């Protein structure tokens, strides 16, 4: 994964040399995402800058990627997991082994078709800007879930600018905003269109559909296998929870062979390394050790102190570009872990984000009144992921040049897991009076793959699992540094999305120092918490309305009451 910066709609009288330097300066603010190389492309209508983190084809995949005739220039942040299939079906004259070059090929061979038609063929995580000099046309697109971040806005002269992170645009564009996932902008007609349309978004299309546990398992193993595409050292994030442990189990199954040559040769780094972090005595560190021993990974469990986490907060907020309470709590240990991973020479990790959204793993899903309500809530949460867990995983890790891949959000796996009738996913009290744990269908699919203590471990949010002292300490610190008077006047200081707690006020103050202005603040969704802000969830249990704290422990007593 990398970073991109683009400036479009340049004026005939523009000083290209001056604008080139400005573009380089903006791109440099996100160079932590791509420390391996910088590339620049300048034409009469466009400037593209790319900061590269070399994962696939490190020898020849430098960007912007140019077509043989020089007409196309492409800057991409991301990975295309089905690039070999797309490449073998193409007659395009490729110039590199980069997985991302298939985007140029699809555009060239797509002719006058809507770009959404060929973009929808990509299975990957991506944000790209493509310039077609022959047509004087550009395309900007983002992957369907929004795993890769992308922002856009206009400078004072009306030029359109895009960047992987907001910090590259905050001083340049007064109207900076997030580019929507699953959309493509086409300069030919000035349109912004959605290209990701799936029948499973409508519950009616899933009714009566059953996916056998064996099919679900095979689909997820295939997703992990695809995402092991790498030419550099990699590992897995292992918190000891169900999701990360399943990712690790599948990765361990395929670690010995090199994915990029069809499993025909031994992997360059055949021992799978796993990584965990927590406060001293945290639940995650203990569980991760159990999972790692069962899977035979080379495990690295790191301990951080509360003071180290608190010291890192200003940099964490600057990197993740959010003031959301849950996101910051979970991003801080992840940011510290990324630094440790980087120091060990690892450039890519697999992570477990997305499972809770697909399978209803958050504890409040126990209160879902019907399969339809359950399904609609999973769709809503998938639509919101780009602003929460995807943002956290991507920006926390990329702060240190470590790429995080998320197999649960693999687009082919999504089509399997989301097509299933939510009746088979539901948790809580069943018709016969028994209780069913969240994500039971996923646990059943992987019976025997993990110790039962891991496979059937109760859900905990990452920020809880690293140690309850982390959240409790943050609240106590905020009580000390934010006065009652300041919180009472929060709506005056922060009219957009005013903070409701002292902890939220503390984070918002730090965010404002890095990203002043209402446009930057508006890129962060509102609401008390992603777990409790859904109107549907409030209907399920009115107690959610009073849950100002988004910790898993605070969800209507579900955590402590064993789902009472």
| CATH code for the part of the protein at 201-475+527-554 | 3.40.50.620
The model's pLDDT over 369-380, given as tens digits with 9 standing for 90+, comes to 999 999 999 999
Residues near 227 by beta carbon (within 8 Å), at least 6 away in sequence: 79, 81, 350, 405, 407, 410
Segment 493-497 shows an average pLDDT of 96
Residues of the chain with CATH 3.60.20.10: 3-197
Residues forming a β-bridge with 348: 234, 403
Instruction: List the structure tokens of 31.
Output: 């160079």
Angstrom distance (rounded) from CA 321 to CA 341: 22
CB 274 within 8 A of CB 350: no
pLDDT higher than threshold 80 for residue 267: no
Angstrom distance (rounded) from CA 521 to CA 14: 31
Instruction: List the structure tokens of 2.
Output: 């990398």
Catalytic residue among 2, 148, 390, 532: 2
pLDDT higher than threshold 50 for residue 529: no
CB 201 within 8 A of CB 67: no
- Looking at every residue in the chain, the average pLDDT score rounds to 92
**What's the start-to-end Cα distance of the chain, in Å?**
43
Instruction: Please classify residue 430 by burial: count the beta carbons closer than 10 Å to its beta carbon, then call 0-12 exposed, 13-18 middle and 19+ buried.
Output: exposed
- State residue 262 phi and psi, 5-degree precision: 70, 30
Residues forming a β-bridge with 75: 129
pTM for the full predicted model: 0.94
Which of 198-207, 420-429, 507-516 has the least mean pLDDT? 420-429
Residue 8 DSSP one-character state: E
Residues of the chain with CATH 3.40.50.620: 201-475+527-554
Angstrom distance (rounded) from CA 52 to CA 54: 6
Provide the pLDDT for residue 457: 86
- The structure tokens 């790692």 sit at 292
The model's pLDDT over 321-342, given as tens digits with 9 standing for 90+, comes to 999 999 999 999 999 999 999 9
The model's pLDDT over 416-457, given as tens digits with 9 standing for 90+, comes to 999 999 999 999 877 777 889 999 999 999 999 999 999 998
Helix axes 213-227, 242-254, angle to 10 degrees: 70
CB 274 within 8 A of CB 297: yes
Q: Is 31 helix (H, G, I), strand (E, B) or coil?
A: helix
Angstrom distance (rounded) from CA 45 to CA 48: 10
* Residue 532 designated active-site: no
Residue 265 — pLDDT band, cuts 50, 70, 90? confident
**Is the alpha carbon torsion for 418, 422, 427, 428 positive or negative?**
positive
pLDDT higher than threshold 60 for residue 289: yes
pLDDT higher than threshold 80 for residue 144: yes
Helix axes 468-481, 502-514, angle to 10 degrees: 80
Angstrom distance (rounded) from CA 293 to CA 75: 41
Question: Class assignment of domain 3-197?
Answer: alpha beta
Q: Is 126 helix (H, G, I), strand (E, B) or coil?
A: strand
């Amino acid at each position: 994964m990398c970073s991109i910066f683009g400036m479009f709609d340049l004026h005939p009288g523009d000083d290209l040399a001056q604008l080139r330097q400005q573009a380089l300066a903006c791109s440099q603010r996100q160079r932590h995402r791509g420390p391996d190389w910088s590339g620049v492309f300048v034409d009469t209508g466009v400037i593209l800058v790319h900061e590269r983190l070399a994962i696939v084809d490190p020898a020849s995949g430098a960007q912007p990627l140019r077509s043989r005739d020089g007409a196309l220039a492409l800057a991409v942040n991301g990975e295309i997991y089905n690039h070999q299939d797309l490449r073998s079906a193409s007659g395009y004259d490729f110039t590199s082994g980069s997985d991302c070059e298939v985007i140029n090929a699809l555009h060239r061979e797509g002719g006058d078709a809507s770009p959404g038609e060929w973009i929808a063929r990509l299975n990957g995580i991506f944000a790209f800007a493509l310039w077609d000099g022959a047509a004087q046309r550009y395309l900007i697109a983002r992957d369907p879930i929004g795993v890769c971040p992308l922002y856009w806005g206009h400078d004072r002269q009306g030029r359109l600018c895009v960047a992987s992170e907001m910090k590259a645009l905050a001083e340049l564009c007064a109207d900076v905003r997030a580019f929507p996932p699953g959309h493509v902008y086409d300069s030919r007609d000035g349109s912004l269109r959605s290209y990701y349309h799936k029948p499973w978004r409508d519950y009616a299309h899933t009714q009566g559909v059953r996916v056998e546990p064996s099919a679900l398992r095979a689909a997820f193993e295939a997703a992990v296998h695809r995402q092991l595409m790498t030419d550099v050292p990699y590992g897995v994030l292992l918190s000891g929870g169900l999701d990360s442990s399943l990712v690790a189990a599948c990765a361990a199954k395929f670690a010995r062979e090199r994915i990029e040559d069809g499993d025909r040769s031994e992997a360059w780094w055949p021992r799978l390394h796993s990584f965990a972090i927590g406060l001293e005595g945290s639940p995650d560190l203990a569980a991760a050790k159990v999972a790692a021993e069962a899977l035979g990974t080379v495990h690295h469990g790191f301990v951080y102190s509360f003071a180290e986490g608190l010291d890192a907060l200003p940099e964490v907020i600057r990197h993740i570009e959010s003031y959301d309470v849950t996101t910051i709590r979970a991003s801080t240990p992840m940011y510290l872990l990324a630094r440790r991973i980087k120091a060990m020479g690892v450039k890519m990790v697999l992570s477990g984000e997305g499972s809770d959204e697909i399978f209803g793993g958050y504890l409040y899903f126990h209160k879902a009144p019907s399969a339809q309500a359950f399904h609609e809530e999973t769709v809503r949460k998938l639509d919101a992921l780009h602003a929460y867990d995807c943002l956290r995983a991507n920006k926390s890790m990329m702060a240190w040049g470590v790429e995080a891949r998320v197999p649960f959000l693999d687009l082919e796996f999504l089509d399997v897991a989301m097509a299933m009738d939510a009746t088979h996913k539901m948790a809580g009290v069943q018709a016969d009076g028994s209780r069913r744990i969240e994500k039971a269908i996923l646990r059943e699919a992987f019976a025997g793959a993990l110790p039962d203590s891991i496979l059937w471990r109760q859900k905990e949010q990452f920020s809880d699992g690293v140690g309850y002292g982390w959240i409790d300490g943050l609240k106590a610190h905020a009580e000390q540094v934010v006065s009652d008077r300041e919180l009472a006047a929060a709506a005056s200081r922060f009219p957009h999305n005013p903070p409701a707690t002292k902890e939220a006020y503390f984070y918002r103050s730090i965010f404002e120092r890095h990203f002043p202005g209402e446009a930057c603040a508006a890129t962060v969704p509102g609401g008390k918490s992603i777990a409790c802000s859904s109107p549907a969830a409030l209907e399920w249990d009115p107690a959610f309305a009073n849950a100002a704290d988004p910790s898993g422990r605070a969800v209507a007593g579900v955590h402590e009451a064993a789902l009472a």
